[in-house]
Chains A and B, each alone.
Chain A
Amino acid sequence: MTALADHLIIAPVVLPLLAGAAMLAFGGDGRRRVSSAINVTSTLALAGIALALLLACDASPAGMLGVYRLGDWPAPFAIVLVADRLSTLMLLLTSLLATAAVVFSLARWHRAGAHFHSLFQFLLTGLNGTFLTGDLFNLFVFFELLLAASYGLALHGSGPARVRAGLHYVVVNLAASLLFLIGVSLIYGVSGTLNMADLAARIPAIRPEDRALLETGAGLLGIAFLVKAGMWPLCLWLPATYAAASPPVASVFAILTKVGAYVVLRLWLLLFGDGAGSSAQLGSDWLLVGGLATVAFGAICTLASQDMPRLAASSVLVSSGTVLAATGMAQVDITGGVLFYMVSSTLGIGALFLLIELIERGREPGADVIAVTREVYGEDFDSEGEVEVVGLVVPATMGMLGIAFIGCGLVIAGLPPLSGFIAKVALLGAALSPPAASEGASVPVASWVLLIVVIVSGLAALIAITRAGIRTFWASPDRVVPDVQLVEVAPVAALLLLCVIQTTHAGPIMRFMESAAQSLHAPGDYVRGVLGTPVLPRAPQGSGR
């Protein structure tokens, strides 16, 4: 590999950091045009880099593109960045969602507050760093970076509702960060290392009397990430914050819950896989039960939500609950399905958050509450003087928004023909045919429960989305056609198109997800890849400076 390609691994961290800083220096709120140009260019470049990394990763042996040693120190002593299938997949997902959100924001939302573009790039820095890093404490630093940017973005546009929800969001996340620190330091105190691969290699040799401390540390770390992933009962802050955030921000926040899920997938399978001695599969029941409870809670929330932003925020809960519960099953095939589901549902929910704003724009505030009242008290309370119109012409804009809404609904509820259906089939199919079943063993109860909960939550999502759709598109007497620009429809269409591509190319994509799952469940290659990186004789300028 050439020297330039070596450095491509760190580009997803450095590029948005520089872009964000450059915007503070040259763009600023006085020259939004410059900032917008830098932001779009940088985000598009990130998407390109992520795609290149992903393809290179998939082509390389053992699915690991490489290990980037910051400052050229050998692995256990300093921070490394690792690009493997899972992390490049998350990079690509983030950059695609971010591109859609930033293009959407150009129409009007980036003018709603200060320094939107810089904060956006800093958020991307934090996200990309979290996905790439191979060091526990460095993970904390990137995590804080993305949280700090997300505090600013959650408040973007200001207003009492956002500030009130943002206050809770900040407090909950600060408390979770403190738990994260306690967990990291406990693990360090027991094992003497912070490098994830080194940790995985040392855990089997930890003395039995120290295991309790290690497991406590891992548990605290887990709580910190599950708060982020929105596991019930740690998720009560989530619907309010996501529903109050401005639409492009909420759309990007759809990936923030997946950060928690990513870390659980990465760390839990790496540290507490089958090779971890007596600590193997630590807490898998908690993941499974908590995930199922989250799905149930999210499904009830979707049915109970009276406005569309809350509906979308509740779908976030359902999505992350499904991911967590299925991860807790700890089987290779299921994990492959989980990854497929994660991509599809994140894209669908991101598109829904953007779409909702376009739909809501034509309605007066409080229209949802009126609609609910109308359902309860019957139609006749404002039907006087209303003329029956036969063959009403649907404006083109409404038709387009309606079709997009149906598309989002299909992806989120998991109905054919879009990717949500394939994801659920892959997930549940794997759950119902465990490796042991071929020898006549019965399917475990947990799989049946997962099947029922996921199907019922899909039904709940379908009912809620259909109801919201009928209420907005068909039964709204005071309908004003929203003023929608092309740059606002295009991102939604693009995200849905990605879901369509995920459907039509399901074969190769599923194969990729399965190989990613296999390397997650057999982390030997990861550990060898990080610890066994030969120290290259290099010129003094080295890498990473």
Chain B
Amino acid sequence: MEIVLALGIGALAGSGVWLVLRPRTFQVIIGLSLLSYAVNLFIIAMGRLTREAPPVLTARAPGDPAQLADPLPQALVLTAIVISFATTALFLVVLLASRGLTGTDHVDGREPDA
């Protein structure tokens, strides 16, 4: 499972970086989204990979840490998802404003001189 997750994160991050470096704003926003997926998966992985392990203790039973998932990265990832969703939406607005004001979707606001 580790190798699958690692490959997945790598593919997402690689495509994300490539897209962020492209000259069109739409490519940049997709790239940033892919990067944030990669980062979210990475945060989960940092809490160690577990299968079928609940993150909460059952009532009145002494918990064995080995049988439990780390709840903190899950909480972090929820926060990170919300924040990156909000900032991506905000970027989308700036992107549209830029498209409207400059008449081009190039990140520099003007077409490069061919």
Contact = CB atoms under 8 A, between A and B. Distances in A.
B86 to A, nearest CB: 7
Q: Is the interface of A mostly helix, strand, loop or mixed?
A: helix
Nearest to B80: A181
A360 interface: no
A186 interface: yes
B94 A167 contact: yes
Contacts of B47: 188-189
A151 interface: yes
A164 B91 contact: no
A281 interface: no
Contacts of A164: 98, 102, 108-109
A269 interface: no
Given A160-B101, A181-B80, A167 B90 contact: no
Interface string B20-46: 100001001000100110010011001
Interface string A167-179: 1101100110110
Interface in A414-435: none
A84 B87 CA distance: 31
Given A144-B87, A171-B28, A175-B32, A185 B94 contact: no
A460 interface: no
Contacts of B67: none
B5 interface: no
Secondary structure of the B side of the interface? helix
A215 B113 CA distance: 43
Interface in B62-114: 72-73, 76, 79-80, 83-84, 86-88, 90-91, 94-95, 97-98, 101-102, 107-109
Nearest to B76: A137
B88 to A, nearest CB: 8
Contact of B42 (A140, A151, A155, A182): A182
A233 B46 CA distance: 30
A185 B70 CA distance: 13
Contact of B72 (A140, A144, A188): A188
Contacts of B108: 164
A175 B109 contact: no
B39 A178 contact: yes
A185 B87 contact: no
A170 B73 CA distance: 26
A331 interface: no
27 contacts: A144-B83, A148-B87, A148-B90, A151-B90, A152-B90, A155-B94, A158-B97, A158-B101, A159-B101, A163-B98, A167-B107, A167-B109, A168-B107, A171-B91, A174-B32, A174-B91, A175-B35, A177-B84, A177-B87, A178-B35, A181-B42, A181-B80, A182-B39, A184-B76, A185-B42, A185-B73, A188-B73
The 5 closest A-B pairs by CB, nearest first: A189-B46, A164-B109, A185-B46, A185-B43, A160-B101
